[in-house]
Amino acid sequence: MTVWIVSGTDTGVGKTVVTAAIAAAASASGHRVAVIKPGQSGVGPGSDEESDVDVVLRLAAPASGLTLASYPDPLAPLAAAEQVGQPPLLLGDVIEAVRRAGQDHDTVLVEGSGGLLVPMGEGRWTVADLAAALRCPTVVVARAGLGTLNHTALTLEALAHRRLTGYVVIGAWPAVPELVHWRNLADLPGELVGVLPDEAGSLAPPRFRASARLWFSPLLFGRADPQRLRADGVTGPPQEWPELVDRPD
């Protein structure tokens, strides 16, 4: 079993779509994939809104998806649980859910909430604590625009302080990049292992699944040349994509 944490530099950076894309790429590589969302905020039980796991299941169709706790208020999971009087998440319960998923799956993806140090549950444990307990690598989803260099560096530093490994994925690369985007692409700290095009989550699911491996380096089950990610970015579906999508390995 391989476990990956998917966290981010902040909220709204594209973690869910990146999680879906990794799931799609891994599935296309022959892996049986489980996706776990420990705490879902802003979508309470019985809501008509899509949860993050619902989005991943729709886009990527992994083998399984599981949300451990849902809260109606768009707050950090610990605060959201306290707001409605629900028992807070226990770190041990999340670890056990990952262990169980690993019995029947090759790859387990755990999507965090907000950034790396957001309080998740009882004792104010964080996604960083979960990564440390599982001793697994973390995908750090970052913005393409202004401010991302500092936020990405701080997140990677927090991981390194705990002797954990982090890899960077840009969650939404604009169709018409400006100078700031190209500079950030070149200057982002850490190892860049993926770049998703803006609005990737709006693609039809079959197209999303067929394209996902083009957005990542082989570390995340993709086909992109790691040496060219920083040079090229993702400017949209180029002419050669249909051929690449249909080409067998």
Phi, psi (deg, nearest 5) at residue 152: -70, -45
| 55 and 17 Cβ atoms separated by less than 8 Å | yes
Higher-confidence residue of 209 and 49: namely 209
The per-residue pLDDT for range 127-161, each reduced to its tens digit, is: 999 999 999 999 999 999 999 999 999 999 999 99
User: Rounded to two decimals, what is the model's pTM?
Assistant: 0.93
**Is the pLDDT confidence value at 240 over 60?**
no
Give the residue extent of every domain in the chain.
2-246
The per-residue pLDDT for range 212-227, each reduced to its tens digit, is: 999 999 999 999 998 8
**Is the pLDDT confidence value at 46 over 90?**
no
| 131 and 88 Cβ atoms separated by less than 8 Å | no
Q: What is the rounded CA–CA span in Å between residue 237 and residue 82?
A: 44
**3-state helix/strand/coil string of the chain:** CEEEEEEECCCCCCHHHHHHHHHHHHHHCCCCEEEEEEEEECCCCCCCCCCHHHHHHHHHCCCEEEEEEEECCCCCHHHHHHHHCCCCECHHHHHHHHHHHHCCCCEEEEECCCCCCCCCEHHHCCHHHHHHHHCCCEEEEECCCCCHHHHHHHHHHHHHHCCCCEEEEEEEECCCCCHHHHHHHHHCCCEEEEEEECCHHHCCHHHHHHHHHHCECHHHCCCCCCCCHHHHCCCCCCCCHHHHHHCCC
CATH class, domain 2-246, is alpha beta
Model pLDDT, residue 81: 97
| 95 and 134 Cβ atoms separated by less than 8 Å | yes
Report how far apart, in Å, the C-alpha atoms of 110 and of each of 52, 77, 206, 244 are. 11, 15, 23, 29
Model confidence at 48, pLDDT cuts 50, 70, 90, reads confident
**Is the pLDDT confidence value at 245 over 80?**
no
The per-residue pLDDT for range 1-13, each reduced to its tens digit, is: 899 999 999 999 9
Active site residues: 37
